[in-house]
Amino acid sequence: MTVKLSISVPDDVAAYLQSSGNASAAVTEAVRRVLPETRRARQREAAQAYGEFLRKRTPEQVETDRLFIEASNDIALRDSAW
């Protein structure tokens, strides 16, 4: 089911929507990106994917990343005055 709405938008947004082939699709996609449930679902999916990635890493990869992070921190803090 769809509902026809009439809205007012700023000039730059109107120009973008007019230049897009399907203004309804562009608005729908943008609104769905900020819907709380949709956002939470995307965050859950991303967290699950990241967890899967971390579980598949070898001990050597974990150690390499740890050394890289330590080296990066050393570089970042080298010129800091504490």
pTM of the model: 0.45
The sign one gets for the Cα dihedral 33, 37, 5, 10 is negative
Give the pLDDT confidence score for residue 32 in this predicted structure: 84
Give the pLDDT confidence score for residue 64 in this predicted structure: 95
Give the pLDDT confidence score for residue 79 in this predicted structure: 66
Amino acid making up residue 22: N
Give the pLDDT confidence score for residue 82 in this predicted structure: 57
CA-to-CA distance for 26 and 18, rounded, in angstroms?
10
Residue with structure tokens 């967290």?
47
Residue-by-residue pLDDT tens, the chain, 82 positions:
889 989 999 999 999 999 988 999 999 988 888 888 888 898 999 999 999 999 999 999 999 999 999 999 888 888 666 5
